[in-house]
Chain A
Amino acid sequence: MSGRSKSRVNDFVVRLANVNGTGSASANGLLMKAIFRMGIPVMGKNFFPSNIQGLPTWYEIRITKDAHLARSGRVDIMVAMNAETYQKDLREVSPGGTLIYDSTWPRNSVLSRPDITILGVPLARMCNEKFGNARARILMKNMAYVGALAALLELDRDVIKQLVEEMFAAKKALVPSNMDAIELGYNYAIENFECPLPTRVEPMDKTAGHIMIDGNTAAALGCVYAGATVGAWYPITPSTSLMDAFKGFAERYRKDPKTGDRNFCIVQAEDELSAIGIVLGASWNGARSFTPTSGPGLSLMNEFIGFAYFAELPAVLFDVQRVGPSTGMPTRTQQGDILAAAYASHGDTRHVLLFPANPKECFELSVKAFDLADRLQTPVIVLLDLDIGMNDWMCEDLEWDDSYQPDRGKVLSAEELEEAEKFYRYLDSDGDGIPYRTYPGVHPKGAYFVRGSGHNKYGAYTEEADEYKEVVDRLCRKWETAAELIPDPVIRKSGKPTDLAIVSVGSCDYAVTEAIAILAERGIALDYLRVKAFPFGDKVEEFLENHDRVFVVEQNRDAQLKSLLTLETDYPKERMTSVLNYSGLPIDCRCIVDAIEQAAAKGVAA
């Protein structure tokens, strides 16, 4: 029972070990939402298998009064509902922690640990006695452990009741039975254990002005608000819910209530080769169009991405990254497509990338992606990952400025074409590397040939060296313009003079922020830059130059961000040290703290 007395109010991790397909996801979501509604910052991560029913799945909830919304590496309370993984789950409880299991069946005494508290709740027995229906018995076990946790952690039962009512708003008849199951677990815990545990929650007021939303939903909302009308896709985990969400929003906001006519067109394509083609066909005609995908889909899209780069067509792609290579682990997270996205396709190509770090940025950068794609007439790839895309994150309320007007870039109107003597597609009239374009059908003078074959600045086919080079050199000028238009990196100074820095990207953000706070307490001051876009731009270059040693924190094996920094900045690679997480699970702050402390001990960071 050592460590039992240590109180961890509003600062602990609950991990729930379940079998997938048993309805645990809704119970776990309910648990997290209850804590959020009690005003306590909370993080939830779902570690699920690529399977529909029967395989192990875990849900991790971090209750974090200081809003450290990344994994901590701890497990204070384990709810072990899966006999198959019990041994592993038991092992992973932090010393002093608590394990709750279904005591309907006896556990072997070998499966025990002296340094943690083990609490048995006969969940299956209680549910079998209470409920007749076989499926209900399985589903209600989940609600019963929510009830037990409500007692042990001192969750607000009114909040839970309210959430259950919302959950079954369309099937009100299910509310009483679910509440009964919660009561079963609650009463058993109250009667048999000392409630609450020292590890428990206390209401706060730190979640006002915040929502819980996943990045795919937020990105889809960005597409709606940016005015996208054509979406093309091929289902692939973990990007599927992005198009599902877009469809839901479009049905709500883009359908004529009287006629049912739709102001949007979603095409579920035969494959990703087609999905990107549909996006390009639509953008050629002036519609804002997009495709959500993941690594394997991005690989398939390469040919058309190069086409769009060279023929200069806007396109917005969302790559919700998952673990590669190949099929990899489709339901696990990684940042493994950074290089593949940056240089997608054969020949000399470079693409604008945007890196949201949370759902709010997914919304904002989604809108930005359309503006950049239209302005630069090129594909823009928004790199999410499974962690941001599919997990519910607590983030500040999304905001919208009603004065926003989309930047459609350099498009000649019918009137402008009428007055023009002649239109040539690829002339750099303004010196920024961006030519003017026309939409089909607008004016007889606007016609031109879109082609992926060699063309000169007038848009005509060419195999002349000078004419070809003139066009591809202009594309480099356009790249320089892109570097001026992309969003700035986020820079946080340590407050103390330091030569050390962390550079990171995307969903590593909260883990990095927490690691910096821990290291500061231990006397290691670090400045922090988070890249939000590629090309990197001057601010990244300048930040790097001002630091002697830079730790590049990212979630892949091959240090892809570091490689890109090496290739695309003047900073010497000898001064960069990688901190890598490629387990497939979201990064926790501990691995960053450990790596930097070790480097400091070895003098690398001196």
Chain B
Amino acid sequence: MTYIAKPKIVHEGLARNALGYTIRDYEGGMSTLCAGCGHDSVTAAIVQAFFELDIPPHSVGKMSGIGCSSKTPAYFLAASHGFNSVHGRMPSIATGASAANRGLHLLGVSGDGDSLSIGLGQFAHAIRRNLNMTYVLENNGVYGLTKGQFSASADVGTKAKKGEVNEQQPIDSVQMAMAQGGTFVARSFSGDKEQLVPLLKAAFKHDGFALVDVLSPCVTFNDHESSTKSYAYTRQFFHRAIHLDYIPPAKEIKAAYDEGDVMPVELHDGSRILLRKVSKEYSVNNRGAALDYIRTHQRRGEIVTGLLYIDESEPDMHGINQTTAKPLSELPFDALCPGSDALADLQNRFR
């Protein structure tokens, strides 16, 4: 991925988080994406979320596959460990990273090409093993780097820039994650930072696989009139089912909410999210009803956004494996090697 160093200028008055970092410490290189690309707004939201979460940048593993979206880890968290893997295979790298080092905070950024075609299998299986990571899927319905082919998320009837019409059914990452047993499923819009930042924070604090699908229009290849993934279309038809506020641990809930409208969910580290229903009939922990709601609105051409489903009770990959609490990569060799006596003893089995 292309990388242009960005001069780091820190004004004296710039706010600092609990660790003493400014927001500049969470930025990366200059973006080389097209001007107006939705992905750059997602990058800005990630920067904001991590700054506000007080996470040391070097404790984050940011990873991606191949494509425009997969370039973006170069544009945020310059002080984090990065891993730009091969096309569609970031989830396996993340699985290995988590297996070895459960202390590392994993943030994956992918796209609809990377996740829903070549990487569909890896995406599904990361959900299946409830890998503890935040998975941001920047969804624009086209292949950008190879210049405008439809992706698997393109809606039926969508016209490509050159006039070709898509007639194949779309694969919807959100519905798929729900069906696969995903424990945190969210959708947002790159143009809705107010919604996206708290969603990312909650996703990051979720113990397990957290999908945040972000509609992120491609200004160059898929922002025209007959596209269902353009800024204009998304702005017109996105439907906030639910609003989420993220409350860090030990912080009082101060905002005034009408009881009944607000549902608090406690996350594993003691932080909470407060869910405010915009739509009365929406239920965030009923998988079947949530899917039904999404589909009903989809038929009307509407895109339901917000935290669509959450389940904090399912164990993640390490919970299922009952892996020891300390990261495996930090275990001393003595704890791993059974030694010569054990070997001598074992060999009696083979005589």
A residues lining the B interface (CB < 8 Å): 36-37, 210-213, 221, 224-230, 232, 253-254, 256, 260-267, 269-271, 273-287, 289, 303-304, 307, 397-402, 404-406, 439-444, 446-453, 460-461
Contacts and interface: CB of A to CB of B under 8 A. Distances in A.
Contacts of B57: 444, 447
B61 interface: yes
Contacts of B328: 229-230, 263-265, 282, 287
B100 A229 contact: yes
Nearest to A444: B58
B157 interface: no
B92 A262 contact: no
A451 B1 contact: yes
Given A397-B344, A397-B347, 13 more contacts: A224-B338, A229-B100, A261-B323, A263-B335, A266-B321, A282-B99, A282-B328, A284-B83, A285-B97, A286-B101, A440-B61, A447-B81, A450-B83
Interface residues of B, number: 64
A262 B322 CA distance: 6
B294 to A, nearest CB: 26
B208 to A, nearest CB: 16
B336 A451 contact: no
Contacts of A256: 324
Nearest to A403: B340
B180 to A, nearest CB: 12
Given A227-B333, A398-B343, A271 B121 contact: yes
B336 to A, nearest CB: 4
B81 A441 contact: yes
5 A-B pairs with least C-beta separation: A281-B96, A277-B92, A287-B100, A440-B81, A211-B350
B350 A230 contact: no
A399 B341 CA distance: 10
A265 B321 contact: yes
Interface in B295-351: 317-318, 321-325, 327-331, 333, 335-340, 342-344, 346-347, 350-351
Contacts of A265: 99-100, 317-318, 321, 323, 328
A76 to B, nearest CB: 26
B82 A448 contact: yes
A168 to B, nearest CB: 15
Contacts of A442: 58
B85 A277 contact: yes
Contact of B79 (A210, A278, A304, A447): A447
B53 to A, nearest CB: 16
B349 to A, nearest CB: 8
24 contacts: A37-B351, A210-B351, A211-B350, A212-B351, A230-B99, A232-B95, A263-B335, A263-B336, A264-B323, A266-B321, A270-B122, A270-B124, A281-B99, A285-B61, A285-B100, A286-B100, A304-B86, A307-B86, A406-B333, A441-B58, A444-B56, A446-B58, A449-B83, A452-B84
Given A284-B97, A399-B340, A441-B104, A450 B329 contact: no
B58 to A, nearest CB: 4
A290 to B, nearest CB: 11
B74 interface: yes
B257 interface: no
A260 B325 CA distance: 12
B85 A307 contact: yes
Contact of B101 (A228, A401, A441): A441
A72 to B, nearest CB: 24
B333 A230 contact: no
A460 B3 contact: yes
Contact of B347 (A283, A398, A444): A398
Nearest to B94: A281
A275 B99 CA distance: 12
Nearest to B348: A211
Given A230-B100, A273-B92, A274-B122, A402 B339 contact: yes
Contact of A453 (B83, B84, B92, B129): B84
A254 B336 contact: yes
B291 interface: no
Contacts of A406: 333
Interface string B84-125: 111001011111111111011000000000000000011011
A14 B59 CA distance: 62
B175 interface: no
B171 to A, nearest CB: 17
A39 B103 CA distance: 53
B350 A273 contact: no
B188 to A, nearest CB: 26
Nearest to A451: B84
Interface string B51-86: 000001111010000000000011000111111111
B168 interface: no
A307 B61 CA distance: 18
Contacts of A307: 85-86
B85 A278 contact: no
A415 to B, nearest CB: 15
A230 B103 contact: no
A225 B93 contact: no
Point out which of B80, B91, B92, B344 has the most chain A C-beta atoms below 10 A from its C-beta.
B92
A117 B334 CA distance: 59
Given A270-B125, A398-B347, A449 B82 contact: yes
A224 B337 CA distance: 6
Contact of A262 (B79, B121, B321, B351): B321
B169 interface: no
Contacts of B342: 253
Contacts of B335: 263
Given A253-B338, A269-B92, A440-B81, A285 B56 contact: no
Contacts of A227: 333, 336-337
B329 A439 contact: yes
Nearest to B90: A277
A280 B328 CA distance: 15
Contacts of B81: 440-441, 446-450
| Interface-central residue, A262, A274, A400, A452, by most chain B CB under 10 Å | A274
Contacts of A232: 92, 95-96, 99
A256 B317 CA distance: 18
A261 B322 contact: yes
Contacts of A267: 95-96, 99, 129, 317
A274 B92 contact: yes
Interface in B156-199: none
Nearest to A359: B350
B2 interface: yes
A280 B89 CA distance: 11
Nearest to B124: A270
